[in-house]
Structure 1
């Protein structure tokens, strides 16, 4: 590790601080804990309740969150936080237990998905609303000749018309626009948001986006799904999920959801929570070069008109290739060593990695601020390899948590479950690739790095 050990330990470090060498040894000798693989759970288990409302890259399964809550929460009035809430697995789980839930995501579509997935709706009321909605749109399912007098003025965001024309056929573009117009005419915001999530979910199948691809690639031979058919089918699935979720959420939470659900579009480094208010943080942070996440959601971003400028929007994401810092320094010696090795291969990527770990230092500081004494933060993260350099994300997290004041409490090594993102990277570019093209496992296993605020 060279001179890595010369880093001076911060005064806030716990007395039980582990050195970088000890951390590396811990990870190298750690065995996979098969109890945390959850291989016995079928897709119907991991997609229970509202968890299958919307496709989302690299989401972790609710069973993992439930297990962490079972191990670390023993009282009924807990507060669970997720600074990178993504599609809301942690938030939904907390609400299902009757706990307060808070969190952020810089991705506006992620915020919308989480809000809808975490908000149980009275099943009878939702059933009536869905029937009315589909009845208004039923003309979309009739022969073309009968449409002339019944057409609704399509709502198509003109800010992004070029991108919409790029991804959608003229027919599907207009039909989606008509659906969006009817959604926006819905006065009940909870129901409107529910419909928007269904709308967002079907966009990929209704476009010429290459099916199964995580990169924005067109397939001009693709026969896109008809929007009405896709929407009706997915609404049926969402309705079933809501009915199940409604039954498990305690009545006190259903009737006072605003008192229990506190989520915002925002930076993970600034949580909407007072000091020492949270019992448990459970999150899966982005990885280096996570700007792919913004690309993956661009269809939803343009149709829901969530930004004026896609390029500027991407720059806000932690892990983006656009971020570089000249006036901030890394605290982790392991991170410094990784950046040094990468700089010999690619100075640009070295700067990206450095910026990612600097951002994460501030996220760990924020977790420490909001947690009660005796509370824990649980970060789910995997290691990877970029341009032949081992990027030891989990080891860096373990060391960095200590600089934020945490005691390194536990490391769980688990086999990665099936995730939507491919499990392979191209070693030269570091970008995700499909299994046929890739030559390197991206995250063969992952860790849960747990810090304790004593």
Structure 2
């Protein structure tokens, strides 16, 4: 990029805030739709902000074809890159982030997904087993017995699904469900036990899962329509080439392709105390078959609730 292009970019971006000091806060203008709404994740970026910045660069700088985000998180930058047909490399140490990005960049077989979801929900409702299918340290602290049984039912039925692409979508929906029905407070990303009164009123995991998966199907249908409208959809999938790496960004990143533009939002403060992405993700990951997450390479990241945060850059 030339000095003149750099100066033009600065002028354009400055012009937005010169008219409105609060322009880049996107207060009242931020909305999460289609794949941006598949998961709630700590400290997510504003999609409209990333989209506008991308459009400025695409207008002013020729030959931008690819984007890299070394702290990809739930994939906000990924989603905006997909919407513009740009190739993408996303990096994150958190397995839940990798799963979310795999789902967002995966094939959009929405009709088949609806059929598989209907069958999954049917199988969940007819499963009468009283077996808890998972066992990990703290399970009785963080989940009531009834919730353990219901999550186990969902877990077994997802495992029985033969298509991995569908299982990944189901696992992501289950991750949201786990956060909603665990005994940890929803007012913080840290693991803090709820008061007994709130634990007594925890909703049915099966009902929450059904609501979540149906919402996510609607989001994926919106995503498919959006990509088709932007002419970046080919045979039920974005034309973008997406690569995801579960590695530590402080190490050398080996990749056979160079990327034109870096857009990211690094971790906020100290992961262990400020925004604990690992604590947020730990309980959901305990109920997911992580063997279904394709790009995992970091080992022993789920030893305890703090392992991800201790290994993170923040």
- The answer to whether TM tops 0.5 is yes
- How many residue pairs were aligned? 274
Aligned CA distance change for structure 1 residues 120 and 248 (closer, same or farther; 3 Å):
farther
Q: Distance in 2 between matches of 1:84 and 1:132?
A: 36
Is 1:153–1:181's contact at 8 Å kept on the other side of the alignment?
no
Aligned CA distance change for structure 1 residues 264 and 84 (closer, same or farther; 3 Å):
same
Is 2:282–2:302's contact at 8 Å kept on the other side of the alignment?
no
Superposed CA offset, 1:244-289 (max 9, x none): 10122222384476x61111211224445346x2121111100221
Out of 196, 208, 215, which is 1:230 matched to? Answer: 208
User: Is 1:205–2:183 an aligned residue pair?
Assistant: no
Partner of 2:117: 130
Q: Distance in 1 between matches of 2:216 and 2:222?
A: 10
Which of 1 and 2 has greater Rg?
A: 1
Q: Distance in 1 between matches of 2:288 and 2:113?
A: 22
SS at match of 2:192: coil
Unaligned runs of 5+ in 1: 1-13, 15-29, 141-146, 320-454
Q: Which of 1 and 2 has higher RCO (CA within 8 Å, sep 6+)?
A: 2
Q: Distance in 2 between matches of 1:272 and 1:109?
A: 22
Is 1:183–1:192's contact at 8 Å kept on the other side of the alignment?
yes
Superposed CA offset, 1:156-209 (max 9, x none): 1x3x1x322110001110110111111112121111000000000111221111
Partner of 2:57: 72
| RMSD, aligned CA | 2.4
Partner of 1:280: 261
Quote the offset at 1:229 in angstroms.
Answer: 0.5
Quote the offset at 1:308 in angstroms.
Answer: 4.5
Q: Distance in 2 between matches of 1:261 and 1:60?
A: 19
Out of 189, 195, 198, which is 2:170 matched to? Answer: 195
Partner of 1:375: none
User: Whose helix fraction is larger, Structure 1's or Structure 2's?
Assistant: 2
Out of 5, 27, 33, which is 1:39 matched to? Answer: 27
Aligned CA distance change for structure 1 residues 193 and 177 (closer, same or farther; 3 Å):
same
Q: Distance in 2 between matches of 1:117 and 1:272?
A: 23
Partner of 2:309: 314
Partner of 2:68: 81
Quote the offset at 1:101 in angstroms.
Answer: 1.1
Quote the offset at 1:126 in angstroms.
Answer: 1.2
Quote the offset at 1:213 in angstroms.
Answer: 2.5
Unaligned runs of 5+ in 2: 4-16, 291-300
Partner of 2:248: 267
SS at match of 2:263: strand
Q: Distance in 1 between matches of 2:207 and 2:260?
A: 44
Q: What TM-score do the two structures reach when normalised by structure 2?
A: 0.80
Aligned CA distance change for structure 1 residues 109 and 187 (closer, same or farther; 3 Å):
same
Q: Distance in 2 between matches of 1:81 and 1:244?
A: 25
Q: Distance in 1 between matches of 2:110 and 2:177?
A: 22
